[in-house]
Structure 1
Amino acid sequence: MIRVLVVDDQEMFRVGLVAILQAQSDITVAGEAEDGAQAVARARSLRPDVILMDVRMPKMSGIDATAAILSDKVSAHRPRVVMLTTFDIDDYVFTALRAGASGFLLKDATPDDLVTAVRTVHAGDALLAPRVTRMLVEELLDRPAPTPTRDALVGLTQRERDVFMLMARGMSNSEIARRLYIAEQTTKTHVSRILAKLSLPDRVQAVVLGYEAGLVRPGDPLPE
């Protein structure tokens, strides 16, 4: 069972999310929270697999709560966090991703989208629409270009480096497989090993690392 913590300051919205999730055979709602501070405490005590986190809440924002939960030195448990937002291009997208969020879900998403989102991040994949990925990349590119730091990829084999560079450009497993002429299952294996070696929670953080370390820039040739 996928254990979910639902965090939102609007009770009626929480009730709707809980009802949808509880109707699934593979998902259970471990608990609810109405603000960020409560979310931090309940994440530690309930140890959910996935947290649905509202961005804007009183007492402590969803972004601050996410950062606190994912950097918690008391608990080694690291749940996946999906930010709930009204707009897909939210002012806080980049900040939330830097805090470790695995993606975003619009508050007007369908019940099927909600369930898919929970299952997607629980499986270790990032939940980020292409439009949001482009926005993230543009945000990174607006910053002064850093000096490339190959040490950021220390421990990776040459093939894993190739896969990482394509991940950092936002490519899917199937796109990477076609580009490198390898099986999609082989790509999945490489991706899992890369995330483990670099201590990255998901593909979104690979995009952030790639651009912030100066490893990926527009116009660079793609690995083959």
Structure 2
Amino acid sequence: MSKQQVSFFWFRRDLRLEDNVGLFHALKSKYTVIPLFIFDDAILDSLPYNDPRVGFIYENLSKINTQLLKIESALLVKKGKTLAVWELLLTEFDIKEVFFNKDYEPYAIKRDSAICELLETNNAIPFSFKDQVIFEEKEITKADGLPYTVYTPFKNKWLEKYKSMAPVLEYDATDVFSNFHKCDFVFPSLEQIGFEKSPIKVKPHNLKFIANYQDIRDFPALDQTSYLSPHLRFG
């Protein structure tokens, strides 16, 4: 019996269903979309068993899965070496397309290159998108095309280009959520992934102090930061 042809959207540093560029394009494709997250052993193996970052990721994945259950879909969560996970998925599903948002760190670039080669070898087309940044590395350069090595000129060029660019689009895919694959994948517990709940909790982000940054930035004892960092880090 032939397997149903599907697309995959691979969550990485973009843990949200709203305003997600790669997910938007995935849901506009001709195949139903299986949402995937991989807990990567290459990253996890060096972390303590109660690492708060893993707990934060897990909590956000759980929220995504809860949203998906309301539309009779579910998040497929895997753990292992990323290449091996994709090799297995290619045997379990007839994967035609894989969508993901770009990551710019050295390990991620090397990993994604290997995954794309594997997908193409198996007749699955990878599609990558700019999502987590306003400008990519080659979009802000000196006049000679080389990257900046001094921050202030880079900042000035960044602001100049930002002020002249078109408004940033918001990618609302709610009208095509029906294109998520109907499935009932079992969402694992944190313990099944090999971790435990951390006593350290990531606080909700709070934007009310940002307008006062100039006045309070030199007083680190004040609890008046935005707590945006982990939310920006993991999308």
Same fold (TM over 0.5): no
Could you say which structure has the larger radius of gyration?
Answer: 2
- Report the structure, 1 or 2, having the larger helix content: 1
**TM-score computed with the length of structure 1 as normaliser:** 0.30
Structure possessing the higher relative contact order (Cα contacts under 8 Å, 6 or more residues apart): 2
